[in-house]
Structure 1
Amino acid sequence: MSDTLQLILEDTDGTQLETSCTRFAVVWQGREVWIQQAGNGQLLIGVDVEDSDTEYANLLLRPLATNLVSLQLEMEPIEADDEEHVHGPDCDH
């Protein structure tokens, strides 16, 4: 299975641009909301952390059947050594 996500970006005038990437973010309420594949057809949706945060918040979207999905919230504690962490394709953040 490929880690590539196929994206369709649409402007306000309806013009569409098709592209692909392994990970993308949307800036929402001043925070980066990252979306990437998590394997087995699942999407991992995580919010970028700030200095005052004590946990990572990740949403895992799983396909269940036709027109059905499962959404699970996963909270992970931020450890002191995570300050030096650089996000990469294998970190699942």
Structure 2
Amino acid sequence: MSNDALQLILEDTDGTQLETSCTRFAVVWQGKEVWIQQVGNNQLMIGVDVAEGDTEYANLLLRPLATNLVSLELEMESADLDDGEGHVHGPDCNH
């Protein structure tokens, strides 16, 4: 197993568990693919793929609920398709 592999435990409603591993996985949530992968230093990156022509973008909100429990929310916001300056969003613009 590679160092960047994630060990997953998938559980059915009856409690049956299946163990597997992968380098990246997605959960389809509110119609969007929420991707999770390890990025080094024992950190997880969580991202939502944006398709060309999307009029909304996703914000992921992580809130602590208790010592060992967090809440993850997916919120959709309108995409600013024209910023008035003709800026084209790309992978390096950090928008």
Could you tell me the TM-score, scaled by structure 1's length?
0.58
Report the Cα distance in structure 1 between the residues aligned to 2:44 and 2:8, rounded to whole angstroms.
14
Q: Tell me the equivalent position of 1:47.
A: 48
* Structure 1 stretches of 4+ moved >2 Å: 56-59
Count, aligned residues = 68
Q: 1:15 to 1:57 in 2, by over 3 A?
A: same
1:13 aligns with 2:18: no
From the two aligned structures, give the one with the greater strand fraction: 1
Task: State the Cα RMSD in Å.
Answer: 3.3
Q: 1:10 to 1:23 in 2, by over 3 A?
A: same
Q: Which runs of 5+ in 1 are unaligned?
A: 62-66, 68-76, 83-93
Could you tell me the TM-score, scaled by structure 2's length?
0.56
CA deviations over 1:39-76 (Å, ceiling 9, x no partner) = 1000000001122348x8686x9xxxxx6xxxxxxxxx
Q: Tell me the equivalent position of 2:74.
A: none
Does the 8 Å contact 1:45/1:58 carry over to 2? no
Q: Which runs of 5+ in 2 are unaligned?
A: 63-67, 69-87
Q: Percent identity?
A: 78
1:1-93 to 2 correspondences below 5 Å: 2-53=3-54, 78-79=89-90
From the two aligned structures, give the one with the greater helix fraction: 1
